[in-house]
Structure 1
Amino acid sequence: MSYPSPAGSAGVGSAPPEQPTATGQGAGQGAGQGVGPSAGLSGVPAQGRSEASPGTSGGATLVVPERRSAFREGLERFRRSAVTEPGRLRLLGAVLAALVVVFGAVTAWQVSDRADAADDVLLRSQPLSAAAADIYRSLADANTTAASGFLAGGKETPEVRRRYEKDIATAGRLLVEAAANSQGSAGARRQISSLNEWLPRYTGAIETARANNRQGLPLGGAYLRYANDLMETRLLPAAQDLYRAETAQLDRDYAAAKSWPWAALALGTVALGALGWAQRRHYRRTNRVFNQGLLGASVVTGVVLLWLAAGHTFARAGLEESDRDGARSLQVLNEARIGALQAHGNEGLKMVSRGAVTVGDKDKYEAGYGDSMNGLAGPDAAHQQGSLVQRALDLADDDAGRVPVEKAIVGVRTWQGRHTGVLEADNIGDYQTAVDRVIGTGDKESTGQCFDVVDASLAKAIAHEQAEFVQAARDGRDALGGLAIGAAVLAVLGAAGAVLGIGRRLSEYR
């Protein structure tokens, strides 16, 4: 029995129905389609590759799936899940948790930086600035005391000698402390090295001058002027540069401690807004007013953001108060105290040199006295505005700070009147009377006593302002206490709340 061939073709070799054709598609493809390998390739799907199957006579094809990387597989799955509500919820939960965690991390980082800068202000840069001012003051006072002792000749009192030695010892001790703590400034270290180099030379010249002076040798005056030149050209400029370097570091630390943490504030605002939007989305899709997890995350984020803003505001206020009422006042008072020392030192050196050192047609040391006194308090009460004592009086914020400055102003005015008497005695050739009116020998109303009153009053004002600085700076630093750790912990809790809130919504799809 024979079977008819399809499409009008006849042939004895036609395959019965239960035997597939070589192409796997039947012979009913119509005329023009062959049964060889080329005909088999024409039906290969686009996603795969066709190969001849072994053991088949007609070149049968085998489809091999295309290989894809794990990343592409994951991306494809993500795309498929992102178009479903559960997938969107998972993505939303991950984004919210990441925002809260990043907000907490940035807050902890920026708060830590500002707390470290506040610590530097309180414990390092301001104390170093004050120490540099004390180094300058100790050196200037030692130079002034040495000149006073030289004027006394063989009558130099033990008190004067002890005061000089105390000043030199104080300067040496403060230099050691500054060298140990001044870590960031190469300029400061360079000035400390210069001071350590020239201080022994200065003390050696002073001892030589004292020895010659006790023997009545005029060479002592030359050694004293040489020591004074070392002080004026080497030691005091180096001490002044050290003071400026440490004061500049103090200003940088203040700026770092008071700068606003804008990145943390911006991230906190974004995180809080995103949590609010997520809760609104939840309400619109489910008609449920609250999602406990998202609500808890919002509360935690709001607490951290409010804590950050309030804590930094209080810290900034405390640091600004310490700067305005403490550090600035201290700088002006230290400069005033140094000005008084320079004026008194120039008075003594004028007596030592006896007009031998001039600048133009003026005595060098008398001109120096005038410059120092004008900067300290002005030439008289009518021209006091802008002087150091007037600025210190303006910066004093209470009676405890104002009263010592007012007493110093009175002492300066008395000093200026007595200095006129020194000039009068010196101009008529009464050298011994002029010396007595400077150092106080035989005359209780001396300029030296006025200087002591001014110096003691300014020292009292400095002590008061230093205490105010420490208190205000400590308050500012403490306002940031615990904020870094608290922000990190609360951020983790907030992220957990966001994940739990989204997880509860996801459970409704299971």
Structure 2
Amino acid sequence: MAITTRAAAPGSAASGPDAGAPAPSGASGPPGRSTAWAEGVERLRAAATTEPGRLRIIGAALAALVVLFGAVAVWEVSGRVTAADDVVGRSQPLSADAASIYRSLADADTASSSGFLAGAQEPRDVRLRYEKDIANASRLLVSAAANTGAGGDSRKEIALLGEQLPRYTGLIEQARATNRQGLPLGGAYLRYANEQMSTVLLPAAQRLYEAETGRLYTDYDEARAWPLASTGAGVLALAALVWAQRRNYLRTHRVFNHGLLAATAAAAIVLLWLTVGQTFARSGLSEARTGGQESLKVLNDARIASLQARANENLTLIARGAVLAADKKSDKYDVDYEKNMKQLDEGLARALRLADDTSGREPVSQAVAGVAQWKQRHAAARESDMKGDYELALPQVIGDERHPDSSGASFDTVDASLERAVAHEQNQFTRAARGGLGALGGLVTGSAALAAVGAAAALLGIGRRLSEYR
């Protein structure tokens, strides 16, 4: 008998074992892969269900916190050490050099007018003083240009000073040569040179000093800033270590875990060292600023005021009323002299208040006495000049063998006293600033080493607990 096979009609159900099974809903395909992050989280979650797994997690977290504490401490302390080192070795010396540039220029102007008053035969010591001032200002300008960053305000002022200083010295040489010939035009050259000094050179030097002092104060602030991030990281690391030891005690009733105890000691030492070191550094830098730099600034301003007063006193005799003040009645240089002396009095009074020891107060007191004497002698010379007795007024100002008690001698006393006061305050600053820098010595290396020891100790302590489960 023949067997015939009938094909399934279209649309009819297929035969076979799965013929009656319902079709799966949705798209078919292989199951989606889980990401590495998801797998890691899943493994971590699984590990956290057992005590050995939890201990491994705790050990890794403790080591990471201790290392983080050490890294942040190294980063912050390195910044403060760099700033403190800049205060001692870079920004304060640049500020002092800028002040010296100002003083040298003002003193050169004073010496040039003193030499002019002496007549055709300029005294050799006055000439040497002028040349020394110009050479010192030129040398310091070269040094400042080499140590000042490009593009800043200081660079512009240095360029201006370098451009204008030769013009000033050229005018002085013209005034000196004309004066030797006995021509009255020499006084005009000298007055023009003084105008260049007072309106161009000294303002530029003042701006340079202010810019360098501003950078010094910025370095102060950076060096004194408290390391908040490392302090917070240290407290967090210590809290985690204490918690881990308490947890260990509650579960095992063992008081000490030597590894965790060593890690805690290392972190505590770093935090204590950081706190004490920064405290002493702040104290030293604060003393350097208030007891040194602030006094230096006041004394430098006072010395500059005295130099300008002396130059104006000389020019009063040179101009002989040729240049009037704003009121069109008074002598301009005499008015400027009175203004400078007022600034000098105020500066010396403030310097006395800031002086914190006998060595600092003594030269300032001598300067105060010298100023009082200077005023008396200037008044006598001015009275002689106003009476038309120029021949008497001249030696009363510049001095000679018959008039040793001149206003110039009083000025020399004031200038020498202020120079000693500046030297004393500079030493005070250097000592205090170096003490502040020294307080941070070794902290960077010590923090890194102790953090590494603490992390290793934490891992060893947890490892000791894990060995109990083997």
Q: TM-score, normalised by structure 1?
A: 0.86
8 Å Cα contact 2:295-2:351 kept in structure 1: yes
Partner of 1:426: 385
Partner of 1:346: 312
In structure 2, how many angstroms separate the alpha carbons of the residues matched to 1:415 and 1:156? Answer: 23
8 Å Cα contact 2:309-2:341 kept in structure 1: yes
Amino acid at match of 2:368: I
Per-residue CA distance 1:448-495 (angstroms, 9 max, x = gap) = 110100000010111111111111111110110110111011001100
- After the TM superposition, which parts of structure 1 deviate over 6 Å for at least 4 consecutive aligned residues? none
In structure 2, how many angstroms separate the alpha carbons of the residues matched to 1:73 and 1:433? Answer: 103
2:432 is equivalent to residue 476 of structure 1? no
Partner of 1:250: 216
In structure 2, how many angstroms separate the alpha carbons of the residues matched to 1:65 and 1:162? Answer: 96
In structure 2, how many angstroms separate the alpha carbons of the residues matched to 1:328 and 1:219? Answer: 43
Partner of 1:27: none
Higher relative contact order (CA 8 A, sep 6+): 2
Amino acid at match of 1:476: G
8 Å Cα contact 2:79-2:223 kept in structure 1: yes
- Offset of 1:65 from its aligned partner? 6.0
8 Å Cα contact 2:121-2:180 kept in structure 1: no
The one of 329, 332, 339 equivalent to 1:371 is 339
Amino acid at match of 2:386: N
The one of 13, 16, 20 equivalent to 1:39 is 20
In structure 1, how many angstroms separate the alpha carbons of the residues matched to 2:40 and 2:314? Answer: 89
Amino acid at match of 1:376: L
- Offset of 1:185 from its aligned partner? 6.8
SS of match in other structure, 1:166: helix
- Offset of 1:49 from its aligned partner? 5.9
In structure 2, how many angstroms separate the alpha carbons of the residues matched to 1:39 and 1:507? Answer: 59
The one of 185, 193, 210 equivalent to 1:219 is 185
Per-residue CA distance 1:270-309 (angstroms, 9 max, x = gap) = 1001100010001001111111111110000000000000
Partner of 1:145: 111
Aligned-residue RMSD, C-alpha: 1.9
**Gap change, CA 1:39 and 1:435, over 3 Å in 2:** farther
Equivalences, count? 455
Per-residue CA distance 1:179-230 (angstroms, 9 max, x = gap) = 1112277111110000000000000000001000000111111111111111
- Offset of 1:152 from its aligned partner? 1.1
Partner of 1:273: 239
Larger deviation: 70-79 or 280-289? 70-79
**Gap change, CA 1:256 and 1:285, over 3 Å in 2:** same
Partner of 1:507: 467
How do 1:143-292 residues align onto structure 2 when only pairs under 5 Å count? Answer: 143-183=109-149, 186-292=152-258
SS of match in other structure, 1:358: coil
**Gap change, CA 1:67 and 1:105, over 3 Å in 2:** closer
SS of match in other structure, 1:402: helix
- Offset of 1:316 from its aligned partner? 0.8
How do 1:41-190 residues align onto structure 2 when only pairs under 5 Å count? Answer: 67-183=33-149, 186-190=152-156
Larger deviation: 407-416 or 152-161? 152-161
- Offset of 1:35 from its aligned partner? 5.1
SS of match in other structure, 1:154: coil
8 Å Cα contact 2:59-2:459 kept in structure 1: yes
Per-residue CA distance 1:363-409 (angstroms, 9 max, x = gap) = 110111001000111xxxxxxxxx11011111111111111110000
In structure 2, how many angstroms separate the alpha carbons of the residues matched to 1:223 and 1:496? Answer: 78
2:452 is equivalent to residue 488 of structure 1? no
**Gap change, CA 1:99 and 1:149, over 3 Å in 2:** same
2:407 is equivalent to residue 461 of structure 1? no
Of structures 1 and 2, the larger Rg is shown by: 1
- Offset of 1:70 from its aligned partner? 3.6
Amino acid at match of 1:281: R
In structure 2, the gaps of 5 or more residues are 1-14
**Gap change, CA 1:501 and 1:41, over 3 Å in 2:** farther
In structure 2, how many angstroms separate the alpha carbons of the residues matched to 1:505 and 1:93? Answer: 10
In structure 2, how many angstroms separate the alpha carbons of the residues matched to 1:177 and 1:498? Answer: 52
8 Å Cα contact 1:185-1:245 kept in structure 2: no
Amino acid at match of 2:285: L
Amino acid at match of 2:336: G
Larger deviation: 289-298 or 64-73? 64-73
Amino acid at match of 2:359: A
Partner of 1:61: none
In structure 2, how many angstroms separate the alpha carbons of the residues matched to 1:45 and 1:302? Answer: 63
- Offset of 1:45 from its aligned partner? 12
Partner of 1:7: none
SS of match in other structure, 1:432: helix
In structure 1, the gaps of 5 or more residues are 1-33, 51-63, 378-386
Amino acid at match of 1:398: D
In structure 1, how many angstroms separate the alpha carbons of the residues matched to 2:158 and 2:372? Answer: 36
In structure 2, how many angstroms separate the alpha carbons of the residues matched to 1:67 and 1:35? Answer: 33
- Offset of 1:74 from its aligned partner? 2.7
In structure 2, how many angstroms separate the alpha carbons of the residues matched to 1:100 and 1:245? Answer: 42
Per-residue CA distance 1:23-82 (angstroms, 9 max, x = gap) = xxxxxxxxxxx855453466x899x969xxxxxxxxxxxxx6654344433332222112
Amino acid at match of 2:53: G
Per-residue CA distance 1:8-36 (angstroms, 9 max, x = gap) = xxxxxxxxxxxxxxxxxxxxxxxxxx855
Partner of 2:4: none
**Gap change, CA 1:223 and 1:75, over 3 Å in 2:** same
In structure 1, how many angstroms separate the alpha carbons of the residues matched to 2:373 and 2:468? Answer: 90
Partner of 1:388: 347
In structure 1, how many angstroms separate the alpha carbons of the residues matched to 2:251 and 2:362? Answer: 71
2:398 is equivalent to residue 417 of structure 1? no
